Amino acid sequence: MKVLFVYPRFQRHADDHPELLDYVPLEEYLGSPSLGIACLAAVTPDDVEIEFRDDRLEDADRDTDADLVALSFFTPAATRALELADRFRARGKPVVAGGVFPTLNPEVVAPHVDAVVVGEGEPVWRQVLADARAGALRPRYDAPLADLAELPLPDLSVYFGVENEVFRPDDYPVQITRGCPMKCVACAIPGTMGRSMRAYPLEHVLGQIEQLARVGKCASFSEDTSWFPAGASRRLLDALVDHLLEQGQRAEISYIGVSMPMILATPVDRLRRAREAGVEMFYLVGGFDPVTRRAFTGEDPKAEDRAVRAMDRCREAGIEPYTSFLIGNDDDDEGTVDRMLEFAARVELRKAEFAVRTPYPGTPDWHRLSAEGRILTRDWQRYNDANVVFQPARMSPERLQQAYLDLWHGFYAGREELRQLSGRDARIQF
Ligand code: B12
Ligand code: SF4
């Protein structure tokens, strides 16, 4: 039996707004796919042959001798994924879909595929393959949460196999936890991976890092919960840092995903130790949390001071705070652009990215805006943080779209000195 895994392409910021390339003096970096397919490949029986197509690199819509086509996608890729599903089925190939979008929207996906997997794939994947082999796929598989202590390392060789001269990411995600007990309105994690946090064993995380180091690649701790200030995630990260420092080792960690409240809740000493253990950069996601949401309304100077303090703390520890600003929250108005840019100047930010609030289907924000009749389109390829897909509270959709472009322009235009940066410093994933 043979399975063809496909990672469908999606529109990136510069695809939708090519003018960004004129004034953002950084290289556009195409990062690795989500870990989903590598996780499934790792639990695929040896007698099943695997082929992988990354549709971002080469059109995946080609004939195949596979017996089953398996699509993995999040919302920005859903339009393309459903198109690919239709095309492969027209060729007579059974199609199974999984990932963030199918998990949160199985009813949207079901008409295009033979089977939808809801939830984490590992617990049901062998059953899916057995059913496909028997020609008896079920329309829907509801997967229980995986036991992380039982999982093998993700099989990254499937991704390495499609690398070439133009696509050779120097970092790949390392997952340290799944699930989250918080209820941030824009986040898909609690709805897809459960409402409690499960941590991998330390050995598993070390294994993931070693697997990358062996081929000269860095680890990106991209998960939004990686720097959680308490609980399983915190204990695991502390154990990892202790282990590395005790062994006199450094891991190559390109970045850790984090938020400003998480930085403020962390003693500087812990930040410094993380730096010593190899953390180069924080990817500071804004707009989800109370500090960043209030910092740019202009009504709460204390929130802005707290945001400044968060940046200072990163710098004190020697960790670069690469910040993502999200515009379009209900309290954002015409003045938000200037306030964000003034903040960026005040803290002398070197690199930043800008995003439009996007109510991803299945998240609390989606349910609220749907109930308020504020969803403007269900064209999923526009759900990529670069387009306005909802009715903003205090601006027109057109004004919000322009505000997003003004932010990119205001921050980057004329900053030619950034062209002198090299390596990872010179790049941006947008
Ligand atoms: C790395 C990452 C990226 C990478 C890779 C893209 C990707 N597809 O994930 C990059 C940097 C490109 C990226 C970009 C974006 N991302 Co992102 N990203 C992540 C992150 C942190 C980790 C992904 C990952 O490796 N997960 C681990 C694997 C194991 O999980 P998984 O893919 O879901 O796979 C499991 C199951 O879903 C299932 N499964 C998956 N596929 C399949 C297929 C089959 C056949 C089966 C049976 C099962 C199955 O089994 C897997 C194993 O259990 C996630 C957070 C997360 N926890 O997922 C956010 C996440 C996927 N990103 C998200 C978003 C919103 C974005 C952006 C649109 C915006 C932004 N600001 O980040 C941008 C895109 C912007 C653009 N236009 O370029 C949201 C998605 C929301 C949604 N409803 O779709 C997430 C969930 C973050 C969040 N907190 O909400 N992202
Ligand atoms: S944004 Fe982070 S803290 Fe909030 S629910 Fe999502 S994973 Fe949890």
The verdict on the CB of residue 189 being under 6 Å from ligand 1 is yes
Q: Which ligand is nearest to the CA of 224?
A: 2
Residue owning tokens 């709460």: 300
Q: What is the pLDDT of residue 18?
A: 96
Specify the residue with its C-alpha closest to ligand 1, atom 81: 188
First to last CA, the chain: 37
Q: Report how far ligand 2's centroid is from the alpha carbon of 215 (Å).
A: 31
Specify the residue with its C-alpha closest to ligand 1, atom 76: 12
Give the span between the Cα atoms of 7 and 225, in whole angstroms. Answer: 24
pTM for this model (two decimals):
0.97
- Pocket test of ligand 1: the residue of 9, 16, 34, 212 to mutate, having most ligand atoms within 8 Å of its CB, is 34
**What is the CA 174 to chain-centroid distance, rounded?**
12
Q: What is the pLDDT of residue 354?
A: 97
In DSSP terms, 98 is beta-bridged to 72
Burial (Cβ within 10 Å: 0-12, 13-18, ≥19) of residue 331: middle
Q: What is the pLDDT of residue 300?
A: 87
Residues 105, 82 contacting (CB under 8 angstroms): no
Give the span between the Cα atoms of 116 and 109, in whole angstroms. Answer: 7
CB atoms near residue 91 (< 10 Å) = 12
Give the span between the Cα atoms of 43 and 155, in whole angstroms. Answer: 9
Q: What is the pLDDT of residue 25?
A: 95
Residue owning tokens 């990119």: 408
Q: What is the pLDDT of residue 299?
A: 82
The minimum-distance atom of ligand 2 relative to the CA of 181 is 8
Q: What is the pLDDT of residue 415?
A: 94
Q: What is the pLDDT of residue 316?
A: 96
DSSP label of 215 = T
Residues 310, 263 contacting (CB under 8 angstroms): yes
Q: Report how far ligand 2's centroid is from the alpha carbon of 180 (Å).
A: 6
Instruction: State the DSSP H helix or E strand holding residue 178, giving kind and residue range, or none if neither.
Output: strand 177-178
Give the span between the Cα atoms of 125 and 178, in whole angstroms. Answer: 18
Q: Give the chain's residues under pLDDT 70.
A: none
The minimum-distance atom of ligand 2 relative to the CA of 285 is 1
Give the span between the Cα atoms of 226 and 258, in whole angstroms. Answer: 7
The minimum-distance atom of ligand 1 relative to the CA of 12 is 77
CB atoms near residue 87 (< 10 Å) = 15
Q: Report how far ligand 1's centroid is from the alpha carbon of 186 (Å).
A: 14
Closest by CA to 218, choosing from 250, 190, 193, is: 250
Alpha-carbon distance values, 315 to 28, 320, 388 (Å): 25, 6, 33
CB atoms near residue 177 (< 10 Å) = 25
What does 118-129 look like in DSSP terms, one character per residue? ES-SHHHHHHHH
Instruction: State the DSSP H helix or E strand holding residue 323, giving kind and residue range, or none if neither.
Output: strand 320-327
The verdict on the CB of residue 98 being under 6 Å from ligand 1 is yes
Interhelix angle 202-213/231-246, nearest 10 degrees: 60
Closest by CA to 194, choosing from 232, 236, 144, 230, is: 144
Residues 5, 41 contacting (CB under 8 angstroms): yes
Name the token pair of 302. Answer: 């204390």
The minimum-distance atom of ligand 2 relative to the CA of 190 is 5
Name the token pair of 275. Answer: 């730096």
Interhelix angle 336-346/301-316, nearest 10 degrees: 30
Alpha-carbon distance values, 272 to 223, 234, 311, 314 (Å): 21, 15, 14, 9
Domains of the chain: 2-11+33-142 (3.40.50.2300), 170-428 (3.80.30)
The verdict on the CB of residue 118 being under 6 Å from ligand 1 is no
pLDDT 10s digits, 298-323: 888 899 999 999 999 999 999 999 99
Q: Which ligand is nearest to the CA of 115?
A: 1
Q: What is the pLDDT of residue 230?
A: 86
In DSSP terms, 403 is beta-bridged to none
- Pocket test of ligand 2: the residue of 288, 358, 365, 366 to mutate, having most ligand atoms within 8 Å of its CB, is 288
- Pocket test of ligand 1: the residue of 100, 356, 382, 408 to mutate, having most ligand atoms within 8 Å of its CB, is 100
Closest by CA to 60, choosing from 4, 129, 14, 111, is: 4
Give the span between the Cα atoms of 147 and 277, in whole angstroms. Answer: 28
**Ligand 2 cavity residues, CB under 6 Å:** 180, 182, 184, 187, 189-190, 224-225, 288
Name the token pair of 257. Answer: 């995903």
Q: Report how far ligand 2's centroid is from the alpha carbon of 313 (Å).
A: 21
Q: Report how far ligand 2's centroid is from the alpha carbon of 147 (Å).
A: 21
